[in-house]
């Protein structure tokens, strides 16, 4: 039997830095990257544009089956997201879209509809999968599973900084409340709630900068897959 390409699962709550860390780790290893949150964001965004009831999982899942989703590199650090040929990158990244995503992500039909698509990203030489349930549900046989956390205050601060850099001004207290609400919904939903896989390594990133987190993640990957990093 040919071994399936290796997967590094990086899960954790919103604004824990997973996105930036996953991209850096994928770049260092030359691995593919799956931003699974973007898929739930696309589902929420398109369902809302179509005027669907976001709590109607069957309707949202049907809509998903009609979408042609494409992730393309812009040649630099960004990924362009196209849905049925249209660039939706900016809309997908909005805070308001995160909220729509969290609502559709609680629907079992929507989660099932995305399983096969997410697994199709597992290709040689390997994959870094960023999300909430990468290690627990989508890639239970992942060779390395990490669960990144940070205090709610630190996560609000990071998201605030990230949005400010994009020229989007938001109130820190409001952002903090929004993050807490999204966490609560993600943790308490009945299907695939946000929690570490039993065999995941938890890493509290509160006192660490991106470079420090990336080196800890790479050290853990090297421990799990000796010789992968040259
Ligand atoms: O990581 P993100 O902010 O782009 O995720 C947006 C929402 O999607 C988040 O509130 C929870 C949901 N999500 C999920 O349920 N499962 C995943 N694997 C990824 C994201």
User: Residue 191 is part of a domain; what is its CATH number?
Assistant: 3.40.50.300
Is 36 within a domain? yes
Counted domains in the chain: 1
Residue 14 CB less than 6 A away from ligand 1? yes
Domain assignment present for 138: yes
As a whole number of angstroms, the distance between CA 157 and CA 171 comes to 10
Q: Is residue 163 part of a domain?
A: yes
In the reported structure, the alpha carbon of residue 210 is separated from the centroid of ligand 1 by a whole-number distance in angstroms of: 20
Assigned domain for 123 exists? yes
Cross-strand bridge partners of residue 35 = 130
Residue with the bigger pLDDT between 95 and 11: it is 11
Confidence of residue 2 (pLDDT cuts 50, 70, 90): low
196 versus 39: the higher-pLDDT residue is 39
Specify the higher pLDDT residue, 134 or 180. Answer: 134
The answer to whether the CB of 139 is under 6 A from ligand 1 is no
93 lines ligand 1 (CB under 6 A): no
What is the residue with the minimal CA distance to atom 16 of ligand 1? 132
d(CA 139, CA 137): 6
List strand residue ranges (DSSP E) for the chain, in order: 7-11, 32-35, 69-73, 79-83, 86-87, 127-131, 144-149, 201-204
**146 phi, psi to nearest 5 deg:** -125, 150
Q: Coil, strand or helix: which one is 206?
A: coil
Domain hosting 74: range is 7-206
For ligand 1, whether the C-beta of 145 sits within 6 Å is no
| Cα-to-centroid distance, 34 and ligand 1 (Å) | 12
pLDDT-derived band of residue 185, with 50, 70 and 90 as boundaries? confident
Collapsed DSSP state (helix, strand, coil) of residue 144: strand
Q: Is the pLDDT of residue 221 over 60?
A: yes
Q: For residue 55, is it within any domain?
A: yes
């Amino acid at each position: 039997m040919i071994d399936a390409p290796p997967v590094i699962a990086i899960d954790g709550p919103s604004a824990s830095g997973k996105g930036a860390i996953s991209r850096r780790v994928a770049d260092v290893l030359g691995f593919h990257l799956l931003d699974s949150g973007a898929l739930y964001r696309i589902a929420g965004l398109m369902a809302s544009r179509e005027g669907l009831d976001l709590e109607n999982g069957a309707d949202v899942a049907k809509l998903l089956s009609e979408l042609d989703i494409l992730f393309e590199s812009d040649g630099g650090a960004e990924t362009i997201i196209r849905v049925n040929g249209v660039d939706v990158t900016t809309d997908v990244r909005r805070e308001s879209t995160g909220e729509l995503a969290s609502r559709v992500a609680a629907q079992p039909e929507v989660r099932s509809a995305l399983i096969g698509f997410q697994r199709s990203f597992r290709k040689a030489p390997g994959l870094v999968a960023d999300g909430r349930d990468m290690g627990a549900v989508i890639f239970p046989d992942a060779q390395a599973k990490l669960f990144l956390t940070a205090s709610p205050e630190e996560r609000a601060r990071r998201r605030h900084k990230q949005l400010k850099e994009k020229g989007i001004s938001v109130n820190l207290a409001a952002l903090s409340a929004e993050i807490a609400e999204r966490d609560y919904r993600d943790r308490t939903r009945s299907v695939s709630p946000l929690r570490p896989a039993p065999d995941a390594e938890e890493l509290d990133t509160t006192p660490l900068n991106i470079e420090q987190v990336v080196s800890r993640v790479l050290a853990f990957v090297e421990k799990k897959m000796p010789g992968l990093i040259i």
